[in-house]
Amino acid sequence: MKIIVAPDSFKGSLTSMQAAEAIERGIKKAALTSKENVEIIKVPMADGGEGTVEAIISAVGGKIIQTKVFDPLGRKIDSFFGVLPDNTAVIEMAAASGLNLLTVEERNPMKTTSYGTGQLIKEALDIGCKNIIIGIGGSATNDGGVGMAQALGVEFLDKEGKQIGFGGQELSKIYKIDISNLDIRVKNAKFTIASDVKNPLCGSEGASAIYGPQKGATPEMIKILDKNLDHLAKIIKRDLGKDIKDLPGAGAAGGLGAALM
């Protein structure tokens, strides 16, 4: 008997490969009892969340690059990204800004940042990768991707010309976006976004309303976060000439989809 085991990750607990290995152990145990001969083929799947790098490398080969980045609360942690045989970088934002990196008590999208995801992009650029695939599932953030952009040199300034801090609560302070210090290598790189989310940035189907609760947002927080993302979208349209608010997928990963666009 040939059995194909092809699970996605189990959010917050198991990567797709860990899930496949656990299922394989169960099948082998059952097969031993029934004296059945089985061949098991593991095909880990991914939706852009945790396990995406592992799934792609298991399918096409490549290597894992170990590094250190900030987690969603700004603590330095061990992280990683993948590099495929053709020097394409594969990044899963969950490895830096994921829900799986926080305890339930620590979840707070008013404070969490996507800065670590920007650090992973920078590391990929540092080793010469010009083609970057970014999986944006499993996020703990609702900062509109501002943290990610900050890590790459974009400045989000308040009325006094000072940089805003981390988290969704800070977005209301944005008065101006300055991209003059954006890492110039970004313009010469190709970015492919791996996402299964079609939500817009704001509104009843937006990032805050639909995904905020699983990240620890209360109903009161959701109203503030949605209003702040709307403010961010207006400043982006004014300063950068890009209208991303209602684009499908802009609301993915707490608005990281919009920032990457």
Enclosing domain of residue 6: 1-45
- 114 and 217: one domain? yes
Q: Is the pLDDT of residue 11 over 90?
A: no
* Angle at alpha carbon of residue 175, lines to 170 and 181, rounded to 5°: 90
| Closest to 90 (Cα-Cα) out of 80, 79, 78, 82 | 82
- Average pLDDT along the chain: 95
Domain of residue 151, CATH code: 3.90.1510.10
- 241 and 252: one domain? yes
Q: What span, in angstroms and rounded, lies between the C-alpha atoms of 140 and 96?
A: 10
| Closest to 178 (Cα-Cα) out of 135, 240, 124, 118 | 240
pTM of the entire predicted model: 0.90
Q: Which residues contact 118 (CB under 8 A, 6 or more apart)?
A: 147, 148, 149, 150, 151, 152
- 16 and 67: one domain? no
Query: Over the stretch 157-185, which tens digit does the pLDDT of each residue have?
Result: 999 999 999 999 999 999 999 999 999 99
Q: Is the pLDDT of residue 35 over 90?
A: no
Per-residue confidence band for 210, with pLDDT thresholds at 50, 70 and 90? very high
- 114 and 39: one domain? no
> Which range, of 40-49, 152-161, 176-185, 221-230, averages the lowest pLDDT?
40-49
- 78 and 12: one domain? no
* Total number of domains in the chain: 2
> Which range, of 26-35, 44-53, 85-94, 114-123, averages the lowest pLDDT?
44-53
| Closest to 21 (Cα-Cα) out of 35, 33, 7 | 7
Q: Please give the pLDDT value at position 33.
A: 87
Distances (CA, A) of 33 to 26, 30, 118, 159: 11, 5, 50, 70
Q: Please give the pLDDT value at position 211.
A: 96
Per-residue confidence band for 86, with pLDDT thresholds at 50, 70 and 90? very high
Query: Over the stretch 106-159, which tens digit does the pLDDT of each residue have?
Result: 999 999 999 999 999 999 999 999 999 999 988 999 999 999 999 999 999 999
- 32 and 142: one domain? no
Q: Is the pLDDT of residue 12 over 80?
A: no
CA 93 distance to own-chain centroid: 3
Tell me, what amino acid is at 149?
A
Strands 39-42 and 2-5: what pairing?
parallel
Long-range pairs for 31-39: beta carbons < 8 A, 24 or more residues apart: 36/1, 37/1, 38/1, 38/2, 38/3, 39/1, 39/2, 39/3
Q: Please give the pLDDT value at position 15.
A: 82
